[in-house]
């Protein structure tokens, strides 16, 4: 007979793991099903490992430019990728083991190691690596937190070469001599700067005419300018059509294009062309759970699917592809289900950062989106060169931008490409979340010398958007 639980959580990402613990604490008999590494994408192949690489890359960059600050460092700077990887492995190992220990020790929580597959609206099989059924489970409440994986385009010759995604690139122990990256969004640019600072030659293949197409053109240009100055090469208006092994160098790759562009040779080829939800092998049809054409599970504001008693949280629901949106999903579900609240993702103000150096951080609407809306708005920009802290650190790249509704004086959106912008953006996030008009922030006294202290000065420069 199937084991019956009050609740089942599928996946142990940033939303699933704390949700399972909280459900157990509420008195629910809870099951957790995890087929891979505990902690999900963020801990294992996403935020945690890549930001440890960002830290190593920044250290190399700072040492190389130490003389700019009057500090003399003898000899050439080199990066031991095996040591960088070993440090990364220690960090993610501690996090992954911590999540598993936390779940296995949680009250009223039972952990199953295997692959979950629906056999009915509230029934699941737990499958082993060979597809055999290890357990049969039923539950009143089911929460899907299965995340996403990297997309690899179906290029001609792909089966004949060695290629990489964000996951296996992090397993390298020797530096690529020439890393070619297909894609120009967040993951692509972070890896481009990381490996360029490590010492690799890096080429980025951009299908269109600019990077970061979801961002305003001025921010995209600002980020590209920094990376290009550091030696990252950009090839615009190109799209690979075929790949093949290098005729003279084992494991290297030749990349061909449909356009009249010479073939490109690479020691390593990284695809950073998007991600797809892990829903294709969950048996959702058997449960009657709807998905869209991308495999995403549509949910309402309270993250409920079309099947009563089934929720989808994290990347898989398409309501935000970030660790912090996944965690916020957990908070929404628990507030509503356990706290009698009425929280909704519909009113969530989106915020995120691209962890290039300096970072690009954004909240709310972009200038492009505000212009498309047709609303009357105020706008202000300010170069980071005006920020004392940035000058003192010798890092004045980038600028700030803010947009305000002309009638309500509510902040519509803001962005910072600049040193510590990923932290300074929270001055805007908090004011927007509070629903306070921009003078609340404009008239606040900030600490000197910081990045955030120039935000009121930025607001002083608001003018009607033309």
Query: For 369-372, which contacts have Cβ atoms below 8 Å and span 24 or more sequence positions?
Result: 369/413, 370/403, 370/412, 370/413, 370/465, 371/465
Pairwise CA distance, residues 8 & 121, whole Å: 12
Q: What is the DSSP string of 64-113?
A: HTGGGGT----S-----HHHHHHHHHHHHHHHHHHHHHHHHTSTTEEEEE
Annotated binding site for FAD: 51, 315
Q: Which residue has tokens 């922030």? A: 441
Beta strands in 158-200, from DSSP E residues, in sequence order:
178-182
Of the candidates 178, 235, 294, 448, the residue annotated as catalytic is 448
Annotated binding site for NAD(+): 183-190, 274
Which phi and psi angles does 170 have, rounded to 5°? -75, -5
448 is catalytic: yes
Query: In which order are the strands placed within the sheet that holds 268-271?
Result: 233-236, 201-206, 178-182, 268-271
Residues in the chain: 466
Pairwise CA distance, residues 136 & 118, whole Å: 10
Question: What burial letters (b/e) apply to 383-420, b meaning 16+ CB within 10 Å?
Answer: ebeebebbeeeebbbbbbbbbbbeeeeebbbbbbbbbb
Pairwise CA distance, residues 250 & 271, whole Å: 20
Annotated binding site: 51, 183-190, 274, 315
- End-to-end alpha-carbon separation of the chain, Å? 68
Structure tokens at 377: 């708005």
Pairwise CA distance, residues 326 & 459, whole Å: 31
Give the catalytic positions in this structure: 448
């Amino acid at each position: 007979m199937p084991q019956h639980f009050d609740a089942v959580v599928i996946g142990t990402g940033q939303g699933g793991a704390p949700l399972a613990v909280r459900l157990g604490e509420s008195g629910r008999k809870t099951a957790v099903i995890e087929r891979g590494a505990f902690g999900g994408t963020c801990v294992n192949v996403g935020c945690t490992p890549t930001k440890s690489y960002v830290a190593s890359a920044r250290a190399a960059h700072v040492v190389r430019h130490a003389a700019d600050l009057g500090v003399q460092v003898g000899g050439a700077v080199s990066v031991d990728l095996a040591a960088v990887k070993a440090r990364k492995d220690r960090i993610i190992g501690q996090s992954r083991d911590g999540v598993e220990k936390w779940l296995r020790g949680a009250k009223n929580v039972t952990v199953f190691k295997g692959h979950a597959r629906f056999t009915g609206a509230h029934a699941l099989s737990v499958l082993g690596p060979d597809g055999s059924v290890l357990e049969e489970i039923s539950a009143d409440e089911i929460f899907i937190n299965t995340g996403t994986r990297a997309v690899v385009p179906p290029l001609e010759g792909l089966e004949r070469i060695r290629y990489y995604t964000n996951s296996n690139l992090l397993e390298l122990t020797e530096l690529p001599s020439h890393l070619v990256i297909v894609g120009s969004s967040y993951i692509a640019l972070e890896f481009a700067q990381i490996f360029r600072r490590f010492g690799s030659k890096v080429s980025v293949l951009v299908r269109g005419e600019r990077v970061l197409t979801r961002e305003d053109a001025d921010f995209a240009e600002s980020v590209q300018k920094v990376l290009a100055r550091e030696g990252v090469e950009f090839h615009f208006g190109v799209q690979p059509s075929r790949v093949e092994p290098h005729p003279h160098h084992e494991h290297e790759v030749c990349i061909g294009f449909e356009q009249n562009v010479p073939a490109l040779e690479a020691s390593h080829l990284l695809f950073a062309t998007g991600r797809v939800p892990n829903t294709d092998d969950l048996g959702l049809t058997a449960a009657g759970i709807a998905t869209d054409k991308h495999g995403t599970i549509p949910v309402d504001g309270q993250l409920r699917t079309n099947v009563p008693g089934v929720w989808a949280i994290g990347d898989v629901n398409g309501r935000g592809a970030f660790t912090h949106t996944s965690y916020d999903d957990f908070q929404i579900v628990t507030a509503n289900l356990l706290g009698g609240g009425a929280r909704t993702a519909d009113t969530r103000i989106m915020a995120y950062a691209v962890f290039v150096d300096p970072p690009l951080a954004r909240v709310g609407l972009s200038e492009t989106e505000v212009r498309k809306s047709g609303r009357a708005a105020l706008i202000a920009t300010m170069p980071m060169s005006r920020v004392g802290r940035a000058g003192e650190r010798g890092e004045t790249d980038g600028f700030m931008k803010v947009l305000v509704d002309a009638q309500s004086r509510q902040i519509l959106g803001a962005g910072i490409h600049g040193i510590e912008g990923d932290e300074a953006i929270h001055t805007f996030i908090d004011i927007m979340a509070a629903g306070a008009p921009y003078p609340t922030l404009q008239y606040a006294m900030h600490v000197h010398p910081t990045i955030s202290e120039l935000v009121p000065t930025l607001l002083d420069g608001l003018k009607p958007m033309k």
